[in-house]
Structure 1
Amino acid sequence: MKVLNLQCRHGHAFEGWFASEDDFQAQLGRGLVECPLCADAQIAKMPSAPRLNLGAAAPVEAPAERQAVATTPDAQLQAAWLRMVHEVMTQTEDVGERFAEEARRMHYGETEERGIRGQASREETRELLEEGIPVLPLPLPKGLKGPVQ
């Protein structure tokens, strides 16, 4: 298994796991590799610290380089944003395209208030805000739109 440090053109860093370099190149060429934050498919392979798997022993890494990647302000912000998105996803009900309708029903007391999420057009979002219904657009990475694990 080959673990690669990748980055999209917007500067989002992430890891990718591939069977081989050829597998990475094949998936990249078919547009299957994309940023988990913004779904950008323009991906570059970044330099990575050496890592040696020595049988049953723990992997040996170049600690200073590895820590530098994980503790940059951008990486910390990205990790915090992903934790927040995961929290929202686990604490809300996905009502899909019925978001505007459900938000109105709760606002006007027609149904029990609860945390919901879903899709709304810009026009629907504007109308909800004009009606005094608090909504917050939250762009979700493509990889997080499926079932929450």
Structure 2
Amino acid sequence: MIHYRLRCNAEHEFEAWFQNSSAFEKQAESGLLSCPDCGSSEVSRALMAPALQGTRREMVPTPADAPSGEQKQVATQALALKQQLLGLRRKIEENFDNVGDRFADEARKIHYGDSDARGIYGDTTPQEREALADEGIEVGTIPWLRDDA
């Protein structure tokens, strides 16, 4: 895992973890990264100070209630995942038709050729998703986060 400080085109800075540097590049190029402050998908790496080991051997004590390194890492990864999901949501909203609660009906029309093939998104019940799967109609489910979540 690699930790980057990122900056959007509005100069907001935030942090995220990536599998490696090429994972960052791929996500940035595909517009999957977004600023948690303004939602901009124009994100680049910001300048970071290197982590240097000092010559002093003693450790500075931390308060007992301070988060552990593992807790900080999990929180940072959760924030990065949230940013990716919000970016995915924006891409879907920009490029697909929202058919609302008619999703199952529209998916069937497209599958059986009664409607032009196109990307759609909307709402289904678990029963509707199961019925679509039984008919061989593949659909995906993603967490639909609110921008303020």
Range class of TM-score, shorter chain:
0.3 to 0.5
Scaled by the length of structure 1, the TM-score of the pair is 0.46
TM-score by length of 2: 0.46
